[in-house]
Amino acid sequence: MDSLVSVAERVKPDLTVIGPELPLALGVVDEFQLRGWRTFGPRAPLLNSSRAKSFAKEFMQTHIRIPTAHYAICQTVDEYAPPFPISMPLWL
């Protein structure tokens, strides 16, 4: 985080687009916004990629009927059954 802040202090960008998931999850958007810098990206408390994916799937199927691949929401590995892939956060 310190190195990103240091670079931003030197470069002084008008807008910073933060990504991919790891910098977002580490709170780079939050830190930059605390310093008054304009950023594009979700704040860390709002970022939960697994929840965002399941929310999108549920929303597409229940509200707007957009065709999407089959999915399952599992709380444990024991609930997993093929053909669904297991998605794990990169930081675990």
What was the pLDDT predicted at 48?
Answer: 62
Q: Report which secondary-structure segment, H or E, holds 40.
A: strand 39-40
Of 17-26, 69-78, 79-88, the range with the lowest mean pLDDT is: 79-88
CA dihedral 21, 26, 30, 36 (to 10 degrees): -100
**Long-range contacts from 17-22, C-beta under 8 angstroms, 24+ separation:** 17/41, 21/47, 21/49, 21/89, 21/90, 22/90, 22/91
What is the reported pLDDT for 92?
Answer: 46
Q: Which CATH architecture has domain 2-46?
A: 3-Layer(aba) Sandwich (3.40)
**14-71: pLDDT as tens digits:** 999 988 778 888 889 999 999 999 999 888 777 665 567 777 788 887 877 777 777 7
* Domain locations in the chain as residue ranges: 2-46, 49-79
| DSSP state for residue 85 in the 8-state scheme | P
Closest listed residue to residue 40, CA positions, set 9, 56, 19: 19
